[in-house]
């Protein structure tokens, strides 16, 4: 029996085996390349989302700074108007309509921006300011309060509000600077 067929058969078997081994190796290389590309796409998407979050918070802090200042200014006008009314009439009366509407409008803008803040500590401070501002803009329910006591109450409210505002404004400024340094 002649072994002439053995050489070509071995060559054929080795060629087929090399084809399958090479194909498997190419598939693994393609899978690794695909996994790297997928990881790079996911990383790029994460970076884009982080950049969008950064830009959103930066814009929100800038708008919040303005809204906080405007809200404080409006509540201060209410305190001053209430104090003037009490000094003149001896008791609280209705505020001018434009002042009440302005307080409502600035409060809505402030609240919307406050709710967009991601930082829990800052949002808690802003909520505290918002609560004090709301309480400050409402006259006391006790109608028998004396003129002197009413003025002292308004002064006390103004002091508490101013301190809370200053803390909130400082925190917003701090968070804004952090975002700018990013």
Stretch 157-171: mean pLDDT: 95
pLDDT greater than 90 at residue 92: no
Stretch 82-108: mean pLDDT: 84
Q: Are 92 and 170 in contact (CB under 8 A)?
A: no
Q: Please state the domain count of the chain.
A: 1
Stretch 53-82: mean pLDDT: 93
**Rg for the chain (alpha carbons), in Å?**
35
| 98 within domain boundaries | yes
Structural domain containing residue 87: 57-181
Question: What single-letter DSSP state applies at residue 144?
Answer: T
Looking at residue 111, its pLDDT comes to 95
For residue 121, give the nearest of 55, 71, 170, 161 by alpha carbon. Answer: 170
Q: What is the CATH number of the domain that holds 83?
A: 1.20.120
Looking at residue 1, its pLDDT comes to 54
Question: What single-letter DSSP state applies at residue 94?
Answer: P
125-131: long-range contacts at Cβ-Cβ below 8 A with a sequence spacing of 24 or more?
A: 125/164, 125/167, 125/168, 125/171, 126/64, 126/68, 126/168, 126/171, 126/172, 128/164, 128/168, 129/68, 129/161, 129/164, 129/165, 129/167, 129/168
For residue 117, give the nearest of 46, 75, 68 by alpha carbon. Answer: 68
| 77 within domain boundaries | yes
| 101 within domain boundaries | yes
Confidence of residue 124 (pLDDT cuts 50, 70, 90): very high
Looking at residue 3, its pLDDT comes to 64
Looking at residue 67, its pLDDT comes to 97
Unique residue bearing structure tokens 């998407």: 45
Q: Whole-angstrom Cα distance, residue 157 to residue 82?
A: 12
Looking at residue 145, its pLDDT comes to 80
Stretch 161-171: mean pLDDT: 96
Looking at residue 45, its pLDDT comes to 92
| 87 within domain boundaries | yes
| 11 within domain boundaries | no
Looking at residue 2, its pLDDT comes to 65
């Amino acid at each position: 029996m002649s072994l002439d067929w053995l050489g070509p058969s071995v060559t054929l078997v080795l060629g087929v085996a090399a084809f399958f081994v090479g194909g498997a190796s190419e598939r693994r290389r393609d899978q690794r390349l695909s996994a790297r590309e997928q990881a790079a796409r996911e990383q790029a998407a994460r970076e884009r989302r982080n950049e969008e979050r950064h830009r959103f918070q930066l814009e929100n802090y800038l708008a919040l700074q303005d809204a906080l200042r405007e809200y404080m200014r409006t509540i201060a006008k209410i305190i001053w108007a209430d104090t003037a009314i009490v000094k003149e009439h001896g008791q609280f009366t209705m505020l001018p309509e434009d002042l009440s509407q302005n307080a409502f409008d600035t409060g809505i803008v402030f609240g919307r921006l406050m709710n967009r803040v991601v930082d829990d500590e800052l949002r808690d401070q802003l909520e505290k300011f918002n609560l004090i501002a709301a309480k400050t803009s409402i006259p006391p329910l006790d109608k028998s309060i004396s003129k002197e006591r009413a003025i002292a109450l308004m002064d006390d409210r103004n002091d508490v509000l101013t301190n809370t505002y200053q803390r909130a404004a400082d925190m917003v400024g701090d968070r804004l600077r952090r975002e700018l340094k990013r």
